[in-house]
A and B are shown apart, each in its own frame.
Chain A
C-alpha cells in the first residue's frame, strides 16, 4: 500500500506518509508549501543563520516520492518558495536539480501568498488549476467543492492512551482536502484552530503523516 486512500468528488486519492498527495488515475503527485530557500530569506533579512540545508532536504524527499510513484504530473500547490527573492536566489546546483526532476514530466507551480509571481524555473505558472472533478489552488475558498489546497500547514494532535502525539496531517471532507506542508523548515497549525475547524465540515477526517499514514476523525479539541 502506497498510503491512505480516500475519495474526493469521485476522484480516488492517496495520502502519502511524507505529506504528498497521489492521484493514481492521472499519475499526478501534488505537494504543498515547500518553502524552498527559507533559511536564505531569513539571513537576507538580517535574521539568524539557520542551517542552509532545508532546500536540499525537501528536494531529496520530493525526488524519492517521484521515484516511488512514477509521477507524470507534479503540482506544487503554492508557497513553493519562501519568497520570490528566495526563488531567484536559489543556488545553481538546486536549480539544476529541479530541472532534472522536471525532465519528462508536466510540472505546475501554483501561486501562493509567499510566491505570488512567476519564477524563472521550468514548468507552467498558474493562479489555480482546474482538473475536473478537482481544482488545485493554494488557499481554500469556503463554499467550493472538489478542492485541493495547502497554505495552513495543518497538523493534528492525537491523545493516545499513554501520550499525546502531534504531527502534520491531511484534512479532508466531502468538499476539500488540505495538504500538510511538505517543506523541511515549516511549522504547523493545529486542526482545532478556528481557521481550520471553521473551514472543515463536522464529519471531516484527518490523515496523520509518518511511517504509516493513519486516518481518524479530525480532532477538534
Chain B
C-alpha cells in the first residue's frame, strides 16, 4: 500500500498555491498499487494531477533509474500540453524528474536518444508507443517501467486506436509484469465497459468517480436573424457571436468540421471591426501555425479561438470562460465534454452557448439541451476486438524479434476486447500475415513470416521491418496534400487539403487556408503551391472533419417533438418551418414511415424518414438502391442522416412498399452487401490496417488515387475467387457493425409494418432540403452509368459534328 498521506513536499506545494488536493487525487494515491484503476472525472477536476500524483510521489526520492511512467493520449498536442503543465509543479517542488514527449513530431535524433536513455516520464500517443515496442531493444528501454496512464481513454475506446493501444500494453505487460494501468476518462454512460477495456483480463479494475461538479450553464444563442433553411456556416450568427466574445475573457468557438471552421473564421474577421485578437486551430493546419496559436492562447493574448475537435480533448489552454458550439451537437456526451472546456475551475458551472447553423439544427439543439438537463448521456455498446488490428499487431511483434505463437495468443487474449478470440481465429490472422492466407497457396516461397526449426516465428526478410513500421497505425486519414507558399515567396507551409479537392483545382482558383484566401499556382512533387490573394471569393476547401453521428436518443427526442401541435420551445421561424412541412407534406410519426418522392435538378429523389440512426439509414440506402437497380429505376446514389435517407436516380419511385419488403431485404442482405461501395470503403481500411496495402512506400508516398483504384480491384478479385478470405470476413464484420446496423432497420420495419405514408410532390420538401447539403454521399454504380455515358458521348459527338455513329 502506498502512503495514504501526501508527503510534505507535495502538501507544502499545494498550500503555497492556496489549493488542497481533491479527494479523488488522494484516492488515486491510496490505490496506487491496484493493477488497474479507472478515474472518471469532469474536465477541470484535476484529472491529470490525479493520474500523475502517484508517479511524482514515487519519483520524489530521486532513486528511480530509467523509465517510470508512460503517459498515452490520443492527441499529440495533449502530450505537449501535459509536459508543460507537469513541469510547473515538478520545478516548483524542486524534483529531479525528466519529462519528455514522443510523437510523430519528435525529431529522429531525439527519438534515438530516448531509446538509449529514456526519461522518467514519457508522454506519447498510441501509434508512437506501438512503434517503440516494435524495436528489438524495447525490453531494455522499458526495463523498470511501473505505470502507464491512458488519458482521455473514453475517446480512444471509440476507435481502433484504443484496440491497438491495449494490444501494445499487453506486449509491455509481458516485458514488465508488474506494470500498473491507470485510465483517465471524462464522464461516460458505461464506465464498466471502459474499465474492462483497460484492465488485463481477468484483473479487476476499480472505478473512482470524482465529484461531477455543478450542472453547466448552457443555452441556445438567440439572434435577431433567423438561421438559414440549410447549410452549416452559421454566418447569420456572426454579430451575436462577436458580441459574446466581447463580453467574455476567452471564448472557444467549436465547429463540427474543418471546412466550417475556416469559413466561419473568415467571416468573423470580415465583421471584426474592433480588431479583437481571434485565432484559428484545426488538425489540417501546419504544426508551426497550430503551435503559434496555442502559445498565444496560453499567454492569454487571444480573445477567441475558432476550432474543431483538435482542441476537443482535455487541453488546458488557460482561462476559457465561454464555449460556443456552432452547429448542432451530434451527441450529448460529447457536448458535455466540450462544455467542460469552459471555466477550468472545479465547482464553478461551465458556461456554454449552442448556435444552430440551420433550422433543423434548432430542433437538434433544443433536444440536446433537454437531454443535458436530464443527465441523459448516450452511448453505444462496443464490439469485440477487430482482427485487422490484430494482424498489424502480429507484424509489429515480429519486427521486435522471433516470437512464440502460443505465448502471443495467450497475451492477446488478456486484452479486454480480445478475450473471446478463438485460437482458430488467431491462427487465421497469423496465416494471413505469413502467407497472405489465400485458398490458392501461391506464396509459400515468398512468406512474410516463417516458422523456424525451434518453432518460433520470424520475418523472412528482416529488412521488411522498415516497411511494416512505416505502415503502422490505424487512423484512416483521407489522403491529403501539403499546401505551402511558392518557393519564390518563402515557401512557408500552411497546412493540408484533401487530394480530391486538390485535383479539382485549376491554377487561379482560390480557397481558404488558415483563414487566408490563397490562390492555387501549381503542383510540385505532391505539394500544392499557392500565393496570397485576397481579391477573389474563395472556393471552399473540403476537409474530412471527423463526422459524428447523432445519437439515437437525440433522434427519438426529435421524433417525439414533431408530434406536438405547436412548438412553444422553438423559435418562431423553426416552428413555422415544421408547420410548413406539415402543410406541404407531413411530419414523420412514431410507428409509421414517411416516404417522399420528388424531382430536383434533373434527377428523381426519394426520401425515407426512418429515424433509425445514421448507420442503419446508410444500410437502408444501400439496400433500397440495390432493389431500385433490380427494378430498372437506375439509382445513382444516396446520402443518409440519423433521420432520413435521400436517394437520387434517373427514374421516380411510384410505389415504395415493395422495395421495403422485409423478407426480401433479409434474403438479399449478403449478396447486396457484397457489391457495394461501402464494403469497398471498409475493405480499403481493413486491407491497409492489416498490412495488405501499403500506406507509405519507402521514399515516395503513394497517392490515394492509386490506392483507391487498386483496392477496389483487389476487393472484386477476392470476392470472385476467394470469397472466404480472412480480409473479406473482417470487412463484412466491420460493415455489419459500423456501416450496416441491420438490426435497427429490421426493428424499424417491424414497428412500421404496412403503415407507410408515401407522398408524391413536385419539388423538394422543407424537411428534405437539408439532406442535399449532407456530406458523405455514396455513389451507386450500375445502369445509371451506362445511360449517362450513352447520353453524354452522343451529345459530345453531335457537338463535334460527328453524330449518328
Contacts and interface: CB of A to CB of B under 8 A. Distances in A.
Contact of A48 (B602, B691, B784): B691
Contact of B793 (A51, A52, A56, A208): A208
A217 B800 contact: yes
A50 B750 CA distance: 43
B788 A162 contact: yes
Interface stretch (B118-126, B369-377, B514-522, B709-717): B709-717
A173 B543 CA distance: 41
A23 interface: no
A187 B712 CA distance: 11
Contacts, number: 109
Contacts of B721: 51, 53, 56-57
Contacts of A216: 792-793, 796-797
A51 B717 contact: yes
Contacts of B110: none
A39 interface: yes
B793 A49 contact: no
Given A49-B446, A212-B786, A215-B797, A187 B706 contact: yes
Interface in A39-92: 39-40, 43-44, 46, 48-54, 56-57, 91
Contact of A184 (B436, B717, B779): B717
Interface string B453-466: 00000000101100
B461 A165 contact: no
A210 B797 contact: no
B111 interface: no
A214 B786 CA distance: 9
A56 B718 CA distance: 12
A185 B720 contact: no
Interface stretch (B205-213, B313-321, B437-445, B765-773): B437-445
B790 A212 contact: yes
**What band does the interface of chain A fall in when counting residues whose beta carbon is under 8 Å from B?**
20 to 34
Nearest to A167: B789
B790 A49 contact: no
Given A53-B440, A56-B721, 7 more contacts: A44-B446, A48-B692, A52-B438, A53-B722, A160-B792, A162-B636, A212-B786
A48 B436 CA distance: 8
A57 B714 CA distance: 12
A158 interface: yes
B692 A49 contact: yes
B50 to A, nearest CB: 45
B788 A165 contact: yes
A39 B602 CA distance: 44
A189 to B, nearest CB: 11
Contacts of B128: none
**What band does the interface of chain B fall in when counting residues whose beta carbon is under 8 Å from A?**
35 or more
A37 to B, nearest CB: 10
B694 interface: yes
B796 A161 contact: no
A144 interface: no
B436 A49 contact: yes
A44 B442 CA distance: 11
The interface centre, meaning the residue of A43, A51, A165 with most chain B CB atoms within 10 A of its CB, is A51
15 contacts: A40-B446, A43-B446, A51-B717, A52-B442, A53-B718, A57-B721, A161-B602, A163-B788, A165-B785, A185-B710, A185-B713, A187-B706, A216-B792, A216-B796, A216-B797
Contact of A165 (B436, B440, B464, B789): B789
Contacts of B445: 44
Contacts of B797: 215-217
B560 interface: no
A208 B461 CA distance: 43
A57 to B, nearest CB: 6
Contact of A158 (B443, B464, B694, B792): B792
B789 A214 contact: yes
B175 interface: no
Contacts of A159: 792
A158 B461 CA distance: 44
A160 B794 CA distance: 11
A44 B720 CA distance: 24
A50 B716 CA distance: 12
B600 interface: no
A187 B702 CA distance: 13
Given A46-B464, A184-B713, A187-B710, A52 B440 contact: yes
Contacts of A211: 786
Contacts of A210: 785-786, 789
The interface centre, meaning the residue of A49, A215, A216 with most chain B CB atoms within 10 A of its CB, is A49
B180 interface: no
A46 B461 contact: yes
B14 to A, nearest CB: 56
Contacts of A56: 721
A184 B448 CA distance: 24
Interface in B106-164: none
B463 A46 contact: yes
Contacts of A53: 438, 440, 717-718, 720-722
A49 B443 contact: yes
Contacts of A39: 442
A40 B788 contact: no
B589 interface: no
A53 B467 CA distance: 24
B725 interface: yes
B49 interface: no
Given A51-B722, A53-B722, A161-B788, A215 B793 contact: yes
Interface string B600-616: 00110000000000000
Interface in B687-703: 691-694
Contacts of B793: 158, 208, 214-216
B692 A50 contact: yes
Nearest to B705: A187
Nearest to B792: A160
B727 to A, nearest CB: 9
A50 B714 contact: yes
Interface in B5-22: none
Give the 3 A-B residue pairs with the shortest CB-CB distance, closest first. Answer: A49-B436, A52-B442, A53-B721
B709 A187 contact: yes
A159 B503 CA distance: 14
Contacts of A160: 788-789, 791-792
B435 A49 contact: yes
Contacts of B714: 50-51, 185
A39 B792 CA distance: 36
A94 to B, nearest CB: 11
Contacts of A46: 446, 461, 463-464, 467
A210 B790 CA distance: 11
A105 to B, nearest CB: 26
B805 interface: yes
A163 B789 contact: no
A205 B461 CA distance: 48
A211 B789 CA distance: 11
Interface string B636-675: 1000000000000000000000000000000000000000
B602 A162 contact: yes
A173 to B, nearest CB: 13
